[in-house]
Amino acid sequence: MTEIPEHLLKRSRERRAALGLGGDDADATPAPAATPATTAAAAPAAAAPAAPAGRAAAPAAPAAPKPKPDSPVVAAYKRRRRVPFWAMAALSFLPIWGFMYARAVTAQPVEAAGPMAVGEVAYAKCASCHGGSGDGLGSAPGFTNGAIEATFPHIEDMLRWVYFGTGAYNAAGIEIYGNPERDGGPHITGSGGIMPGWGSAVNGELTDAEILGVVCHERYGLGDVDPNSEEYADEFERWCSEDSEIFAELDHGGTLAELHETAAGEGIMPIGDTPVAGSAP
């Protein structure tokens, strides 16, 4: 309880005396007047609401579970060394390198050129009778076992026969189309199979250059004639080699009938524009 200062009490008594309320009687009970004030002062304090309680702390986050260990397969994969990126590019070229290497170490077949190459293609028209390998089918003669050398010792006689064929020889009254002194007897027109004429004067299925190519292919490709022999080396070089001037002339529009009149055909037997009998060696 608060004690009231004396000077305040004195002043209070004097004020009460001036108002006729008496001063001395009130001296004995100054404290009760202060009691309500004290009570009133204390009441608000008592009535004051309690301070709000502080918020509760948030619960701690649960600890993260430990990662599951890798299986042996996954662990081995992670430990494996990676292939460098440049190695993949190099591996993609391996098939090409392999092909190029195989081409380099493998001997390439020699491709025919000039009249031999042309004749190999054009011979497809003759294969149905003489066979793909020149062995002969049925009544059509073959080119092997020395047959060409025996029948046509000169390439001009063979060219003429292929150009005109059986019909033109019969029409001209020519009975022997090859070597008249042939061992075993000469070939007589009309005694065997019918030889079609392939030249422009008959049916024109082959050009003059193609006829020369076919004859070269039959003599030196399918037949037994040796292009390196002393007897036939000059013939092959002049008529059937890649550098043949005769083939070049025919390939540029020249004709077999007029071939003997040109510089490339000088010194050869005239083939002419009509069939003639074959010649002996």
Return the residue matching tokens 């292009």.
227
236-264: pLDDT as tens digits = 999 999 999 999 999 999 999 999 999 99
Residue 175 lies in a domain: yes
CATH code for the domain in which residue 151 is found: 1.10.760
pLDDT score recorded for residue 44: 45
Helices (H), 50-137: 72-79, 85-92, 94-105, 115-122, 127-130
Proportion of the chain above pLDDT 70, given as a percent:
75
Sign of the dihedral defined by the CA atoms of residues 67, 73, 79, 81, in that order: negative
Residue 141 lies in a domain: yes
Contacts of 129 (CB under 8 A, 6+ apart): 137, 138, 140, 193
Range of the domain at 224: 115-261
Of 55 and 115, the structure prediction assigns the larger pLDDT to 115
pLDDT at 43 over 90: no
Residue 203 lies in a domain: yes
Give the 3-state secondary structure of residue 196: coil
Residue 214 lies in a domain: yes
Task: pLDDT band for 27, please (50, 70, 90 cuts).
Answer: very low
| Cα angle 226-231-235, degrees, rounded to a multiple of 5 | 80
Give the 3-state secondary structure of residue 93: coil
CB 129 within 8 A of CB 140: yes
pLDDT score recorded for residue 38: 44
Mean per-residue pLDDT for 268-273?
Answer: 93
Sign of the dihedral defined by the CA atoms of residues 255, 258, 263, 267, in that order: positive
- Residues constituting the chain: 281
CB 274 within 8 A of CB 175: no
Residue 241 lies in a domain: yes
Residue 123 lies in a domain: yes
pLDDT score recorded for residue 54: 52
CB 240 within 8 A of CB 227: yes
**Residue 184 and residue 168: Cα distance in Å, rounded?**
25
Q: Which of 35-39, 55-59, 138-142, 198-202 has the highest mean pLDDT?
A: 198-202
Please state the domain count of the chain.
Answer: 1
pLDDT at 100 over 60: yes
201-230: pLDDT as tens digits = 888 889 999 999 999 999 999 999 999 999
Helices (H), 152-195: 155-172
Q: What is the dihedral of CA 171, 172, 175, 178, to 10 degrees?
A: -120
Of 48 and 11, the structure prediction assigns the larger pLDDT to 11
Residue 167 lies in a domain: yes
Residue 13 lies in a domain: no
CB 213 within 8 A of CB 119: yes
pLDDT score recorded for residue 87: 66
CB 212 within 8 A of CB 227: no
123-182: pLDDT as tens digits = 999 999 999 999 888 778 889 999 999 999 999 999 999 999 999 999 999 999 999 999
